[in-house]
Amino acid sequence: MKAIRRQLWGLSLFLLMGVSACQGGSGDEKVVNVYSARHYDVDELLYDEFEAETGIAVNIIEGKPDELIERIVNEGEQTPADVFVAVDAGRLWRAQEAGILQPVDSEVLNAAVPESLREPSGQWFGLTTRARVLVYNQDKVKPEALSTYEDLADPKWKGQVCVRSSSNVYNQSLLGSMVESIGPEATEAWAKGLVANFARQPEGGDVDQIKAVASGLCDVAIVNHYYWARMKKDTEEAKEIENTAVFFPNQADRGTHINISGVGLVKGAPHPENGIAFMEFLVTPEVQKVFADGNNEYPVIEGVALDPVVAELGDFKVDQTNVASYGRNNPVVNEIVDRVGWK
């Protein structure tokens, strides 16, 4: 009910601020207006906590990231949005390219968020990370047979690999990071080999890939770690995938690819100080702990305890490629997947 109330409140706010903007607006209001593509119940608790600590009311408009970007573009100088939140570096890059974000120079954010997890000019910052891992069927694959993303293009995996569509932004970001790390030619060769090894044409989301591994339809799949962790915490789903396990690829070289959820300050935000205060609040240890527990994600700051199921996966080497490269390389990625026939 609270989520519904916030969305309706956000709609009312939008209508009211459209009027007030024409009359000059009011930048000293104790509010922050957040356009968010994160749709997790735990976030509601954080909004309430921010309100309690600061007296600044949090108004939320939720939607799909591309729709929110388009909305802010269309609203132009009249937008009530202060902060934009998305769940992929590629979408944050799209927001930047659309010209709807502005740089933030915050000592708090710069100190809390590692350089590789933020846009170099300060247009957006990572809030959480998620690893793009391999889930494998333990009855059919030994962990020592796994090594890297690149190895999945080897003919020995023919008919054994599942992954979702190339249009999925998580896969596009993985490819974008590979373009940055190993170059476009090597990335295309890998994608071509991967397609040749598909157990089926891509369909469904990450959960569907995990279930396909568990059922024996494929031996290994590329997924975000938190989907597997979420299923392991559900009594019924845990039984369904009990024959699966997680493997972190590329530990002997660049490390496992990670993506982020992140936040940026909207250009022309009517309440910029409140927006920055909200952004800084999201990288405090207490909030990072809520993120970690609530959605099985990894925090961006050090020293925060992980969710127990995620912690059991163990430590792993993280690819330090700057996440801003994912979006920057996206045009090349789209050309690659078209040429190799990755639907």
Q: Confirm or deny that 257 is annotated as ligand binding.
A: no
Which tokens is 324 given?
């801003």
Q: What is the DSSP string of 45-102?
A: HHHHHHHHHH-PEEEEEE--HHHHHHHHHHHGGG----EEEESSHHHHHHHHHTT-EE
As a whole number of Å, the CA-based R_g of the chain is 21
Question: Which residues, 6 or more positions from 226, have their beta carbon under 8 angstroms from its beta carbon?
Answer: 130, 295, 296, 297, 310
C-alpha separations of 272 from 18, 92, 207, 234 in Å: 17, 18, 38, 40
In this structure, what DSSP letter does residue 118 have? Answer: B
Token output for 13 = 């706010």
**Does 39 carry a binding-site annotation?**
yes
Please state the residue numbers annotated as binding site.
39, 226-227
Please state the residue numbers annotated as binding site for Fe cation.
39, 226-227
